[in-house]
């Protein structure tokens, strides 16, 4: 099994609080926009396409697992998925890179940022627990100013919103992007959510570490899909859900647990796992690497999703 182990390198239980690490929390090292909301225009309001890619894990275990080959395969898959599905935007939902060794941080971040910008379509980014860097302040600036970037979390602890708009500028859907650091959604993220003014529009939430409700919905027997490992919430206690409901969030799309791909509804919010994308991360021998294609219909306030693969195959539970 390649890359990160399913235990995520910890002796603690899957729902136990992890030690805090300052992932995505520093302010930028130079002046960038202070806007906490990005705007993205879409071509067809009745068929808005978002391609979620998660857990790419660039540079994970290169010395042990054949150098750059796994990362090259991941980049190739990303290019094929984007070409095949022509999304309005790509959502990179955390662990794009993997725990840089000392002195490697700048190189690994530059490699990862280039891979994200190469999709040549608008893209958002949420921080994952392995997205560690020595110079987060510089990364905040680079992420904000990169071509096609929708990232606007530089002054808000990595949390921000994206408004999807029609060609004429009419707002259609909101995307809530959360930085779950190494501890899931905690007080800092909840405080940010509480400060957000509801728009009344339907919304989706993108985050890396799942909410406690992912555990609950599987235990309820109502979820559909595959679950090959524990849900690792890392201390989130379920209290974020009412705050997301207040913002009209219809579904959460997470990553983190590479060999889970299921979905189920808690109250009126669907908890959906993204499909792990990166070949350097663990789990490829249990669950094929891919992405999640989400389609929104603004006229009907509806959404759907399916797991997609670079070879054109499609899977739904």
Say how many C-beta atoms besides its own lie within 10 A of residue 227's C-beta: 15
pLDDT of residue 128: 98
> Is residue 56 included in any domain, yes or no?
yes
> Is residue 113 included in any domain, yes or no?
yes
Q: ∠ CA(204), CA(314), CA(85), 5° rounding?
A: 65
pLDDT of residue 63: 75
> Is residue 110 included in any domain, yes or no?
yes
3-class secondary structure for 73-117? HHHHHHHHHHHHHCCCEEEECCCCECCCCCCCHHHHHHHHHHHHH
Residue pair 269/244 in contact by the 8 Å Cβ criterion = yes
pLDDT of residue 8: 55
Q: Is 205 exposed, middle or buried (0-12, 13-18, 19+ CB in 10 A)?
A: buried
Tokens coding 121: 């379509």
pLDDT of residue 61: 84
pLDDT of residue 2: 40
* Boundaries of domain holding 301: 37-315
Q: Tell which residue, 256, 267, 261, has the closest CA to residue 220.
A: 267
How high is the mean pLDDT in each 10-residue block of the chain (317 residues)? 46 91 96 97 98 97 77 97 98 97 95 97 98 98 98 98 98 98 97 98 98 98 97 96 98 98 97 97 96 98 98 97
**Pairing verdict, β 123-125 and 89-92:** parallel
Q: Is 268 exposed, middle or buried (0-12, 13-18, 19+ CB in 10 A)?
A: exposed
Sign of the C-alpha dihedral computed for residues 73, 76, 78 and 81 taken in this order: negative
CA atoms of 31 and 145, how far apart (whole Å): 10
pTM reported for the whole predicted model: 0.96
> Is residue 10 included in any domain, yes or no?
no
pLDDT of residue 291: 98
> Is residue 26 included in any domain, yes or no?
no
CATH code: domain of residue 153: 3.60.21.10
> Is residue 69 included in any domain, yes or no?
yes
pLDDT of residue 4: 43
pLDDT of residue 28: 97
Number of structural domains in the chain? 1
pLDDT of residue 174: 98
pLDDT of residue 281: 94
């Amino acid at each position: 099994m390649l890359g990160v182990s399913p235990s995520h390198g910890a002796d603690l239980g899957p729902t136990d609080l992890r030690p805090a690490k300052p992932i995505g929390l520093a302010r930028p090292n130079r002046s960038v926009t202070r806007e906490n909301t990005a705007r993205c225009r879409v071509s067809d309001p009745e068929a808005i396409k978002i391609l979620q890619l998660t857990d790419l894990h660039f540079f994970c275990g290169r010395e042990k697992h054949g150098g750059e080959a796994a990362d090259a395969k991941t980049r190739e898959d990303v290019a094929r998925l984007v070409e095949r599905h022509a999304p309005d935007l790509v959502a990179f939902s955390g662990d794009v890179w993997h725990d840089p060794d000392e002195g490697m941080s700048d190189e690994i971040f530059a490699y990862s940022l280039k891979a994200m910008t190469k999709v040549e379509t608008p893209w958002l980014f949420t921080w994952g627990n392995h997205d560690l860097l020595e110079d987060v302040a510089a990364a905040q600036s680079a992420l904000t100013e990169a071509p096609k970037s929708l990232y606007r979390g530089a002054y808000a602890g990595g949390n921000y919103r994206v408004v999807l708009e029609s060609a004429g500028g009419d707002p259609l859907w909101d995307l809530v992007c959360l930085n779950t650091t190494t501890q899931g959604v905690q007080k800092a993220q909840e405080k940010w959510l509480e400060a957000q003014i509801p728009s009344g529009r339907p919304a989706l939430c993108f985050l890396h570490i799942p909410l406690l409700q992912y555990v609950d919905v599987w235990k309820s027997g109502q979820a559909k899909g595959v679950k090959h490992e524990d849900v690792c919430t890392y201390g989130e206690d379920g209290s974020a859900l009412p705050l997301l409901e207040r913002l009209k969030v219809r579904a959460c799309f997470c990553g983190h647990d590479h060999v889970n791909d299921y979905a189920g509804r808690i109250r009126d919010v669907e908890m959906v796992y993204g499909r792990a994308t990166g070949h350097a991360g663990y789990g490829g021998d249990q669950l094929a690497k891919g992405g999640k294609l989400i389609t929104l219909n603004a006229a009907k306030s509806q959404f759907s999703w399916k797991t997609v693969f670079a070879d054109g195959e499609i899977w739904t539970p």
